[in-house]
Amino acid sequence: MNIDNLPTPLYIAHRGLSARFPENTLAAFAGAADAGAQMIELDVTLTNDRKLVVIHDDTVDRTTNGSGAVRGLTMKTLGQLDAGSWFDPRFKTQRLPTLTQVLDMAKGRLLVNIEIKPEAVDPHSPDDAVERQILALVREKKMVEDVLVSSFDWRVLKKLRRLDPTIAIGLLADVPADDRLFDWIEQVTAFSWHPDYRVLTRVQVEKVHGVGARVFPYAVNGQIDTGGMLAMGVDGMMVDDSRQMTIQ
């Protein structure tokens, strides 16, 4: 990922443009591209048969017509659920996508911020560990330069860095920048810090820039103070709605 090739600010379509489309579906990601987003954000976890599926919650209850834990269901079963009608009946054909499907639609069109959900992380990092599968897939698709991998579980990002010296890594956090953050930025050679926008200050932005990392705050429930964030000097931010992408 070359920051010099990215627009500033970089608007990252959160779960696709989740205010306008059923989150984390191909319709949401295509809609984000059509609205002019350069990067999409998505959530990845593992299914019962250890496939990479794109969904935010631990269960399918909120965003599909099914029920139960994602970890208890196979990709085949998950892929048959209706992942669009809960949002609007016109999206009834939407399914929970695999990460492969999303990368295929994004290639050459969108950069991708892959958030690894902490529930998918295996402490012993087996051959099919989530970080190993993601890296293998991204390499197979020749998209290492197109992805930014983030997580609230920074240990999995450290494992990823050991596996690949160049892939872009983002540290997600819901607490202000502190000594621990700066230690981890160095440990994983972080590309960026992704804080909850509510904990951010201009001084923190300056400090993180001072160690060479970018700052991409994320929205909570779609609410983000776009102008306030830009005034602090952030490099971009996660947005749920295309209307939030208009300020340059």
The encoded tokens of residue 188 equal 């994983």
CB of 194 to ligand G3P, least distance (A): 5
The encoded tokens of residue 112 equal 């991708």
CB of 203 to Ca ion, least distance (A): 26
Which residues are catalytic, by number? Answer: 14, 56
Nearest residue to Ca ion, scored by beta-carbon proximity: 115
Measured over the CA atoms of residue 189, residue 149, residue 161 and residue 199, the dihedral's sign is: positive
Site residues (CB under 6 A) for ligand G3P, limited to 12-41: 14, 41
Contacts with Ca ion by CB under 5 A lie at 43, 115
Nearer to ligand G3P, 13 or 135 (CB): 13
Nearer to ligand G3P, 40 or 103 (CB): 40
At 46, give phi and psi (nearest 5°). Answer: -105, 145
Task: Transcribe 196-243 into DSSP letters.
Answer: BGGG--HHHHHHHHHTT-EE--B-BTTB--HHHHHHTT-SEEEESSGG
Interaction of residue 150 with ligand G3P, rule CB under 6 A: yes
d(CA 163, CA 188): 11
The encoded tokens of residue 95 equal 């399914």
Interaction of residue 146 with ligand G3P, rule CB under 6 A: no
Interaction of residue 245 with ligand G3P, rule CB under 6 A: no
Q: Mask 152-191, x = binds ligand G3P (CB under 6 A)?
A: --------------------x-------------------
Length in residues, the chain:
248
